[in-house]
Amino acid sequence: MRTLLKDVKTMVWKDIVAEARNKEMVTSILTFAILILVIFNFALRLTPQIILELAPGILWITFIFSGLLGLTRLFVVEQENNTIHGLLLSPVSRENIYVSKAISTFLFMFVSEIIVIPLFSILFNVSLFNLLIFAVIILTTIGFASIGTFFSAIATNTKSREIMMPMLFVPIVVPIIIAAVISTGIVIQGGGWDDIYKWVQLIVVFDILSVVFSMLAFEQTLQE
């Protein structure tokens, strides 16, 4: 257990240091997110009356598509010098490689989302500063990052990463997209914990299943 934590910490730290130097992941997610928000502003006539109705949808479309951009490029870093082989040649277990990658992914996606939220609130005049919304965002991002890391490992090894990643990812995460959009909407409209309880439960079940499945199956994505 202690070596597990130590190995995971070492690998996550390496990802964070590399990201802090090149800022590739967070910047690409973030700029893409801002572009989506701007397009929404022009595509929909967002009057104060309907913004409350549409805000959850706009928010989550932004998170999903900008997040996908990051997920698609997840293992590109490890491919450049074939450092993935370096990881595989170390005595670290494959599960730990998955866990560390999923944690790094979660951190990068979450940091980008944290920056998008105030932007969103300013641009569309809707306050998203609510602990329940944060909880929903964190739990849903765990789901995105855990299954997304798994599919990214698969998509990276195919001939067309850009096509395969959304095709693999989007249909599978439909349940948590629905749960996230609806519970965000309920909270924006003034609902409380009791109203979103069952949706949060659904997201948690999905997260657990996706983490367990990915940990068990991750090794299979690496072997040649």
Partner 1 sequence: MQSSGSPAIQIDGLTKSYGTYDVLHGLSMLVNWGEVVSIFGPNGSGKSTLIKILATLSPASSGKIWINGLDSQEYSHHVRRNIGVITHDMMLYGHLTGLENLLFYGTLFHIQNVERRIIEVSESLNISSFLNKRVDTMSHGMRKRISLARSILHDPPILLLDEPDAGIDQIALDILGNLTMSSKGKRTIVMTTHNIEIGFSLSSRIAIISNGAISYIQESSSKTVDEFKSDYKSFTGVTN
Partner 2 sequence: MISSRINFRLLLHLTTFLVMLYVLYLIFLSVPTDKNLGISQRIFYFHVPLAWSGFLCFFIVLIGSIGYLWKKSLICDRLAHASSEIGVLFITLMLMSGVLWAKPVWGVWWTWDPRLTTSLILWLIYVAYLMLRAYSSNRQQGAKYAALLGIAGFIDVPIVYLSIYWWRTVHPQPLVGPATSGGGLDPSMQTALMISTLAFTLVLISLLVERMSLFRDQYALETHVASIKS
Q: Which pair of structure tokens corresponds to residue 19?
A: 């990201």
Sign of the alpha-carbon torsion through 54, 59, 64, 69: positive
CB 70 within 8 A of CB 25: yes
Q: Which pair of structure tokens corresponds to residue 45?
A: 């006539």
Smallest separation (angstroms) from partner 1 to the CB of 163: 24
Q: Quick one: which segment of 51-59, 66-74, 99-107, 195-203 binds partner 2 (CB under 8 A)?
A: 195-203
Smallest separation (angstroms) from partner 2 to the CB of 9: 28
Smallest separation (angstroms) from partner 2 to the CB of 203: 10
Count CA within 13 A, CB hemisphere, residue 39.
Answer: 10
| Distances in whole angstroms, Cα of residue 9 to Cα of each of 36, 91, 97, 169 | 34, 15, 11, 27
Q: Quick one: which segment of 2-10, 55-63, 105-113, 127-135 binds partner 1 (CB under 8 A)?
A: 2-10
State the residue for tokens 């749960």.
Answer: 179
Taking the least distance from each CB to partner 2, the nearer of 39 and 209 is: 209
Burial letters for 214-224: b for 16+ Cβ neighbours within 10 Å, e otherwise?
Answer: bbeebeebbee
Q: Quick one: which segment of 25-33, 91-99, 107-115, 127-135 binds partner 1 (CB under 8 A)?
A: 91-99
Smallest separation (angstroms) from partner 2 to the CB of 224: 8
Binding partner at 43 among partner 1, partner 2, none, C-beta below 5 to 8 Å by kind: none
Number of residues that bind partner 1 (CB under 8 A): 26
Is residue 99 part of the contact set for partner 1 (CB under 8 A)?
A: no
Distance (Å, rounded) from C-alpha 131 to C-alpha 135? Answer: 6
Is residue 82 part of the contact set for partner 1 (CB under 8 A)?
A: yes
**Sole binder of partner 1 in the list 1, 47, 131, 224 (CB under 8 A):** 224
Count CA within 13 A, CB hemisphere, residue 75.
Answer: 24
Interface residue list for partner 1 (CB under 8 A) = 3, 6-7, 10-11, 14, 17-18, 21-22, 77, 80-83, 85-93, 223-224
